[in-house]
Amino acid sequence: MSALGSSWPVFLGFTVVVAGWIAFMTGQAVAQVWKPAWQVIPYAILLGAADRFFVFALFGGNPLSLPGFAVDSAVLLAIGLTAHRLTLARGMTRQYPWLYERSGPFSWREKGRERTF
């Protein structure tokens, strides 16, 4: 066991892959209904708590590990916010193609404007 409250393979396999996929889908769902990014935060916290429970129930991890809960929730929040921004950028350019074009995976710009640095 580590400070994560579980082993590294469990953290990578279950938290990052399985719960991360759920966090990604959650971020997409929030963005698809045009809700702000801050609304991903409570879902990530709840998902972090559910992840702690499943790590305990399936792999014998420590369910009361506060550092484990914090790391799990932070990783899931990062994945959820990334998905939210990707989906929002795609949605803006698909819904308003006459106004916006993609300027990267996480951003868009008005058509006809060049980026200046």
pLDDT tens digits along 38-73: 999 999 999 999 999 999 999 998 889 999 999 999
CA angle centred on 42, ends 41 and 43, rounded to 5°? 90
Is 14 among the domain residues?
yes
Domain residues for the domain of 14 are 8-110
Q: What is the pLDDT of residue 79?
A: 98
Q: What percent of the chain stands above pLDDT 70? A: 93
Q: What is the pLDDT of residue 85?
A: 97
Number of domains in the chain: 1
Is 2 among the domain residues?
no
Q: Encoding tokens for residue 17?
A: 């892959």
Report the range of poorest mean pLDDT among 6-10, 20-24, 54-58.
Answer: 6-10
Is 35 among the domain residues?
yes
As a whole number, the mean pLDDT across the chain is 92
Is 45 among the domain residues?
yes
pLDDT greater than 80 at residue 84: yes
Q: How confident is the model at residue 77 (pLDDT cuts 50, 70, 90)?
A: very high
Is 3 among the domain residues?
no
Is 115 among the domain residues?
no
Number of other CB atoms surrounding residue 17 within 10 Å: 10
Q: What is the pLDDT of residue 12?
A: 93
Q: What is the pLDDT of residue 78?
A: 98
Q: Encoding tokens for residue 27?
A: 């971020």
Is 32 among the domain residues?
yes
Q: Are 80 and 26 in contact (CB under 8 A)?
A: yes
Q: Which helix (H) or strand (E) holds 104?
A: strand 100-104
Residue whose entry in the numeric block shows the structure tokens 């950028």: 89
pLDDT greater than 60 at residue 1: no
Is 27 among the domain residues?
yes
Q: What is the pTM of this model?
A: 0.89
